Amino acid sequence: MPDVTKTDIKNAVASGPQAALQLPEPKPEKTRSLWGDAWRDLRRSWIFIVSSVLIVILLLITFFPGWFTGVDPTSGDLAKHFLQKPRLGNIGSPDWLGYDQQGRSVFARVIYGTRASIAVGFGTTIAVTVVGGLVGMIAGYFGGIVDSVLSRLTDVFFGIPFLLGTMVVLNSFQDRTTWVVIGALSFFGWTQIARVMRGAVITTKQADYVHAAQALGASTPRIMFRHILPNTLAPVIVVATISLGIYISAEATLSYLGLGLNGVSWGNDISDGGNQIRVAQWIMLYPSIMLIITVLAFIMLGEAVRNALDPKMR
């Protein structure tokens, strides 16, 4: 409706029939896209704000651990710091969270362990999103025998227990670096993304703009990546965001079982602290708290994004 007041109508009528026909033209309303509506809702969500602040802090710790501690997490002094208790009053100091059975600073190991967990989480999420997204897009777009083969392949991988399969793969490696752990987790973790993408593509390819692009002779890659992909990303982003926290938790579980990263990580520290839980509970307490905060932050972010992108949740 145009922004016309009663005063405008009265003035126009009083000025004559010619003026009455020259009412103010309606201003076109600016339409918002799905992403615009989602961003507006996210800015008003306290869950999104809290989780984003936590994730920003975690990313700062990941990329700039030297800003938070200048202590080497792998060096220790048994004679001086063996199982030394935390001094909670010395915030930020090496002895703030105590020392472990090898005289290493628990605070330094918590800080540097963030890098390993975040790297595995983001790396695995990117890998499974790319692989699963491509498999799901190809299966959903072409259908027929291609869909049947890829769907059965997805079912086979989906039937393998995620952690058990990852443990079998990692057990065959002596040097389990970050890339090895990311590869093992991604090898069994792409199935959920593939299913979500396949369903979204099957729905989107029936749209009129896709049929119009096909009628105009657009190539298959152009239709898939220019017209279908942008309109199927919303559910994939939601699943990927929530899965990121799950992959961080999976890496910690594998490290706790002795099949994770060979280095500083929260899972390794939790495993070491479990052997000293009767006399030094702080060794596993603080890495566990950081793990819980990190996983919770990414799950909260995923929930906020899902609520913003799903029209049924509004």
Tens of pLDDT, residues 124-168? 999 999 999 899 889 888 888 988 899 898 888 888 888 888 888
**69-97 average pLDDT score:** 75
Q: What is the mean pLDDT of residues 285-312?
A: 81
Q: Domains, the chain, ranges and CATH? A: 46-313 (1.10.3720.10)
52-56, 65-69, 196-200: the lowest-pLDDT one: 65-69
118: helix, coil or strand?
A: helix
Answer yes or no: are the C-beta atoms of 249 and 266 closer than 8 Å.
Answer: no
pLDDT of residue 130: 92
> Which residues on neighbouring strands pair with residue 265, listed in sequence order?
none
pLDDT score of 23 more than 80: no
Using pLDDT thresholds of 50, 70 and 90, give the confidence band for residue 37. Answer: low
Please tell me the predicted confidence (pLDDT) of residue 252. Answer: 86
**pLDDT for residue 233:** 82
72-78 mean pLDDT: 77
Residue 35 above 70 pLDDT?
A: no
Exposure class string for 177-188: b at 16+ Cβ within 10 A, else e:
ebebbbbbbbbb
pLDDT at 84 over 70: yes
Amino acid making up residue 299: I
Output DSSP code: residue 109: H
Q: How many Å apart are CA 94 and CA 105, to the nearest integer?
A: 6
Q: What would the two tokens of residue 213 be?
A: 């692009």
Residue 234 clears pLDDT 60, i.e. is over it: yes
Range with top average pLDDT, 2-11, 69-78, 127-136, 213-222: 127-136
**Average pLDDT, integer, range 33-49:** 72
For residues 261 and 173, is the Cβ–Cβ distance under 8 A? no
Percent of the chain with pLDDT strictly greater than 90? 5
User: Which band of pLDDT confidence, cut at 50, 70 and 90, is reported for residue 222?
Assistant: confident
| pLDDT, average across residues 92-105 | 78
At 92, is the pLDDT very low, low, confident or very high (cuts 50, 70, 90)?
low
Backbone angles phi, psi at 105, to 5 degrees: -70, 125
Q: What does the pLDDT read at residue 28?
A: 52
Residue 31 is predicted with a pLDDT of: 56
Residues 6+ apart with CB under 8 A from 279: 83
> Which contiguous run of DSSP H or E holds residue 63?
helix 46-63
Q: State the pLDDT at residue 127.
A: 93
What does the alpha-carbon distance between residue 122 and residue 111 come to, in Å, rounded to a whole number? 17
What's the pLDDT at 19? 45
Percent of the chain with pLDDT over 70: 84
pLDDT at 313: 54
The C-alpha R_g of the chain, in whole angstroms, comes to 27
Residue with tokens 């002779």: 217
Mean of the per-residue pLDDT values of the chain: 80
On whether the CB atoms of residues 305 and 42 are closer than 8 A, the answer is yes
pLDDT given at position 21 = 46
pLDDT in tens, 241-275: 888 888 888 888 888 888 878 778 888 888 877 77
d(CA 76, CA 90): 19
